[in-house]
Chains A and B, each alone.
Chain A
Amino acid sequence: MAKVLTDRAYIEMNYRPKAGLPCVQDRFYEAILKNTCETALAASLFPRASVVITLQEMHDNGQLISCAINAACLACLDSGIDMRFMFAAMTCFLTNNGDLHLRTPEVKEDIDAIFVFVFDSVKKNVIVSHTEGTFKTENYKLALEKCREGSETVFKFMRKEITKE
């Protein structure tokens, strides 16, 4: 356990798939989740400490990574560890007729590209950008805008959930 950092807390992220052992794809998600939580949590307030975040996949019905990131944010909020800002993930789909959808399209073959964005709650800047498929810069721009607006709803939801208890 030589992972002690003298200037901030060490964030340990575990992402568990539902079945089987974690593979390269899960490590990839883990890296995104870890970097996101690292920036959002005020880690410098807890030097020489470690924060362990574990995510367990329960069911994958599309938009898995967005769901995992939002779950991580809620868990961080629930833990009461100081945070610099909240974060919310949104997934956007570009279909072959040029439309952008926030909801997973029924037919998989219609999807041209998938965009996942994570925004911070303060300036609404991009923390994570993850894309699949090829697309034009304009599409990317529009998807970004759309997700940014959509993220408002997620932030609202998170605030509501947190204040409920």
Chain B
Amino acid sequence: MPIDHKRINPPEDAVPYKLFTKLNTKSSQEQYQQILDKNQIRKDGRHASEHRKIYMKTGVIAHAKGSAYIEQGQTKIVASVFDPREIPNRLDYCLKGEVYCDFKFAPFSCPKRRLHQQDSQEKEYSSIMKKALEAAICRHEFPNFQVDVYVLVLHNAGSALSAAITAAGAALASAGIPMFDIITSSTLAIQGKDVLLDPDFEEETLSEIAIEKEHGIIVISVLATHDQISHFHQVGNLPLNVVSDSIDILHKSCKEIVPLVQKCVIRSVLAGISET
């Protein structure tokens, strides 16, 4: 790794201590078997089709136009939105405004330390978020301008992408950016016949490994009022019928989150009124 001249540099040979813990002899299959018991109850006591509890709050960042903080189980994410600004380095006129998304994991947010520079996964998530949010924002209302959306994951306990999209949606709404609808998002992890809604970090990682032939993760975001899916993201190997069933589950789950976001957004409006 080259020396970063703009940060204080650690010794070059630092390695996570987890590498030296007593060797975990369990294969991923064995690990997976512990995740769900016979009654479809997971380690944390949730049923396989049960979503974790969400806590949400807007207006956490003083100088942002809009901001939101979300806690989905242990997953903790902050999102902020800034006023439209002129698109830098652009000379031609564009009819629709642009959305710039920046998704970042804090260095301490995952079991393994993350680097300061944006890695490929973060870049991928940024572009997925951009696609998902673009559909919800009335981009024709601010031609030639760009809205900046920043997301920081403080603690990644699974389903970070969907939680980030939900939080970014709430931040956009509280920033007064014109939107077609409230956007919510949900994650589903599939391994064989098991279908886990809103997986935690361990469930998520295990579903990415091919223990059985059919496995994978699906993230969708939904514009609830008009029953539209604004984006669909899938990894792994799944047959078509499983996918369509999954979409139904996810769609339902996304709709269930909507009232929470609505309540949160309205609260921010009322807070705004009492200030002025």
Contact = CB atoms under 8 A, between A and B. Distances in A.
So, do A and B actually touch in the complex, CB under 8 Å?
yes
Interface of A: 21-24, 27
Contacts of B5: 21-24
B50 to A, nearest CB: 47
8 contacts: A21-B5, A22-B5, A23-B5, A24-B5, A24-B6, A24-B7, A24-B8, A27-B6
Contacts of A27: 6
B107 to A, nearest CB: 17
Contacts of B8: 24
Nearest to A27: B6
Contacts of A24: 5-8
A24 B6 CA distance: 6
B86 to A, nearest CB: 12
Given A24-B5, A24-B6, A24-B8, 5 more contacts: A21-B5, A22-B5, A23-B5, A24-B7, A27-B6
Interface residues of B, number: 4
A23 B9 CA distance: 10
Interface string B228-265: 00000000000000000000000000000000000000
Interface string B63-78: 0000000000000000
Nearest to A22: B5
A4 to B, nearest CB: 17
Interface string B1-44: 00001111000000000000000000000000000000000000
Contacts of B7: 24
A153 B8 CA distance: 37
B90 to A, nearest CB: 16
B56 to A, nearest CB: 37
A88 to B, nearest CB: 31
Nearest to B7: A24
Q: Which of A21, A22, A24, A27 is most buried by chain B, counting CB atoms within 10 A of its CB?
A: A24
Nearest to B9: A23
A2 to B, nearest CB: 11
Contacts of A22: 5
A27 to B, nearest CB: 8
A22 B8 CA distance: 12
Contacts of B6: 24, 27
A78 to B, nearest CB: 30
A22 B5 CA distance: 7
A23 B8 CA distance: 8
A23 B5 CA distance: 5
A47 B6 CA distance: 31
A22 B3 CA distance: 12
B134 to A, nearest CB: 29
A22 B6 CA distance: 9
A21 B4 CA distance: 10
- Which 8 pairs, one residue from A and one from B, show the smallest C-beta to C-beta distance? A23-B5, A21-B5, A24-B8, A24-B7, A22-B5, A24-B6, A24-B5, A27-B6
